[in-house]
Amino acid sequence: MIIAIANQKGGVGKTTLTVHLASYLARRGRSVLVVDADPQGNASSWLLDGDVSQAGLFELLVVGTAGKKLVRRVDGWGIDLLPGNHRTGEAYIFMAATNKPFGTVADALRPLAAGRDVVLIDMPPSMAAGFRETLFAADWVLVPAQLERLALEGVGFMAQTCTAMREQYHAGPMLLGIVPNMARRQTTEHQAQMQDLIAAFGPTVWPPIPLSVRVAEAAAQGTTVFELPDAVGVAEAFRVIGQRVEQNVKA
């Protein structure tokens, strides 16, 4: 099973959700692979203590290196990682310039799902080269969204993209869930945006993850909020999202 963590907007917490979901599932005994498909390489930096020099998606897509040779075990996490960095963007540009088939990324990534319970793709920005090709590799898409004025627009774009892809190719991901992130429940604006999301997407909107400085602290320390004793509230919110994934896709 492959889940893409995606939104057309940056800064909505894609990498944060990817890393915490991977950690939760690994703690539950699941075999998990994180694919860092964002040229910023934030997931790789988080998991590898700032090291974004490792071979990964570029070598898989351009050089033709076998995926199993590129996947590395992340010490202390119990998860595997296919790294990414600025060269990932070069790989997408190369694919476009050489007219590679639309399913090239899917063909490269899907074999890595064999024998694993879950593959999580930390997606590139939606308007960037390679976004749709990478999304096509997924079975499901999970959409983190900030509770702000343009939240509905970003989520709607993702839903429309998935629908259009399935209509055109008779394959592609289904919308798994929408995760309101960095929520400030006490503000009127966030409450109103949450209600708008629920009105538009119903039960596809999952419980929110609260805004917490502990998330940034965890990232800076190369860990997750599960490891921080004073991050009980936000840690529980991430656990709930992990449970929703297990319940909905039988991970």
The pLDDT value recorded for residue 51 is 92
Q: For the chain, what is the domain count?
A: 1
User: In this structure, are strands 32-36 and 79-82 parallel, antiparallel, or unpaired?
Assistant: parallel
pLDDT value, residue 157: 87
Question: CATH number for the domain including 118?
Answer: 3.40.50.300
Flag whether 79 is in a domain. Answer: no
pLDDT at 154: 80
Q: How far is the C-alpha of 59 from the C-alpha of 94, rounded, in Å?
A: 12
Phi and psi angles of residue 72, each rounded to the nearest 5 degrees, phi first: -125, 150
Rounded CA separation 224/56 (Å)? 23
Q: pLDDT at position 93, please?
A: 94
pTM of the model: 0.95
pLDDT at 249: 81
Sorted by sequence, the CB contacts under 8 Å of residue 31 that are 6+ apart come out as 80, 115, 116, 117, 118
What is the Cα–Cα distance from 227 to 220, expressed in whole angstroms? Answer: 13
Residue 103 covered by a domain: yes
Residue 11 lies in a domain: yes
Q: Amino acid letter at 147? A: L
The whole-number pLDDT of residue 186 equals 67
Residues pairing with 205 in the sheet:
178
Domain with 31, as residue range(s), is 2-35+99-123+132-249
Residues of the chain with pLDDT under 70: 185-186, 250-251
Within a domain: 8: yes
Asked if residue 147 belongs to a domain, the reply is yes
What pLDDT is stored for residue 106 in this prediction? 97
Examine residue 19 and state whether it is found in any structural domain, yes or no.
yes
Match 């950690």 to its residue by tokens.
23
Judge contact between 156 and 197, C-beta under 8 A: no
Domain-located, residue 198: yes
